[in-house]
Amino acid sequence: MLRTDDPDVAAAALAEGHLAALPTETVYGLGARADLPRAVARVYAAKGRPADHPLIVHLLDPYALLAWGVELPEWAGALAEVFWPGPMTLVVRRSDRAGDFVTGGQDTVALRVPAHPGMRAVLRALGERVGDDAVGIAAPSANRFGRVSPTTADHVLAELGDVLGADDVLLDGGPSAVGVESTIVDCTGDRPVILRPGRVATRGVEAVTGLTCGERSAVRAPGTLASHYAPRARVQLVDAVDLEAAVGGLGLPAARTGVLALAEIATPPGVVRLAAPADVTEYAQVLYAALREADALELEAVVAVPPDDAGIGEAVADRLRRAAH
């Protein structure tokens, strides 16, 4: 796998049907041209991802929503206008452009217009190479299925360096600014349904659409399994007041245990402090790196104090619950 900081190199690889690990503002994704079944099949194989799990198709411009989706409610367009480019994925009824190999066999497709300049440069260059300004890149997170998502190029190498080929590319775009995956919104019903929380919280979706979010959806979406985003270390969630007792109750040497909590929460004696984020935004940014550090240190357990379940804290708490399942 070639590591580069040149988006044109990544676009050239994608145009030829190879894979490219790409930076986004959320996490790094493992990308393939969304119109090439064989390339997309390699994404599933590299990750060990079940074939019925849909992929998110990344687009350069919001207008491409009309090329990939049909029967769009007006409020879906409002979400795209406000939040794209950015960390929001919209699930809509698919057009003929979206094949079963990216939708998991569903009649819907998940679409996002990313904000990361490197990813946008790749999309622009790819569109020019293939003569299609609505070309899509199907890109789930660049990690083995169910594991911790990568937020740096080094994380991608650690995860997939041994399974990607010499013609595949890793575009180094620096650390991911958000740190957790995009908000996924089901736009196929009468009202929006949050399938996966992200930086854009429920309140933001409701403010833009003027609708109260629904609670049920039959749509399958990425990252919604009960167990996901998990390190090898066992993860346990506790309240701040119970932190020291929880660490002691593990029955492990203190040096084999890691703690993840806001900086205002004291570290119990002897344990490894994996991160001490100053606020919930920083918590999201360091979350996956901290879980990876636990595995690098061969810790047996991580005791985490989730932040308040508001704003992006909703997404952080969601990822920690799935890691602990």
Identify the pLDDT of residue 172: 98
**Whether pLDDT at 223 is above 80:** no
One-letter identity of residue 12: A
Other C-beta atoms within 10 Å of 82: how many?
A: 15
CA distance 183 to 200: 6
For residue 218, name the pLDDT band (cuts at 50, 70, 90): confident
Mean pLDDT of 273-290: 97
Whether the CB-CB separation of 295 and 208 falls below 8 Å is answered with no
State the CB neighbour count (10 A cutoff) for residue 202. 17
Contacts of 221 (CB under 8 A, 6+ apart): 54, 91, 110, 184, 186, 195, 196
Q: Give the pLDDT band (50/70/90) at residue 137.
A: very high
pLDDT at 220 > cutoff 90: no
Per-residue pLDDT averaged across 272-291, rounded? 97
| Average pLDDT rounded to a whole number, residues 200-225 | 90
Asked if 304 and 236 touch (Cβ cutoff 8 Å), the reply is yes
Q: Average pLDDT, whole number, for the chain?
A: 95
Judged against a pLDDT cut of 80, whether residue 52 lies above it is answered with yes
Share of the chain above pLDDT 90, in %: 91
Domains of the chain, with CATH numbers? 2-209 (3.90.870.10), 234-324 (3.40.50.11030)
pLDDT at 309: 85
The tokens for 186 are: 């089901």
pLDDT of residue 228: 81
pLDDT tens sequence across 86-102: 999 999 999 999 999 99
The pLDDT of residue 224 is above 80: no
Q: How confident is the model at residue 106 (pLDDT cuts 50, 70, 90)?
A: very high
Contact (CB, 8 A) for 23 and 191? no
pLDDT over 90 at 226, yes or no:
no
Q: CB within 8 A of 294, min separation 6: which ones? A: 231, 233, 258, 272, 274, 302
The CA radius of gyration of the chain, in Å to the nearest whole number, is: 19
Categorize the per-residue pLDDT at 229 as very low, low, confident or very high, splitting at 50, 70 and 90: confident
3-state SS track over 32-92: EECCCHHHHHHHHHHHCCCCCCCCEEECCCHHHHHHHEECCCHHHHHHHHHHCCCCEEEEE
Q: Give the pLDDT confidence score for residue 176 in this predicted structure.
A: 97
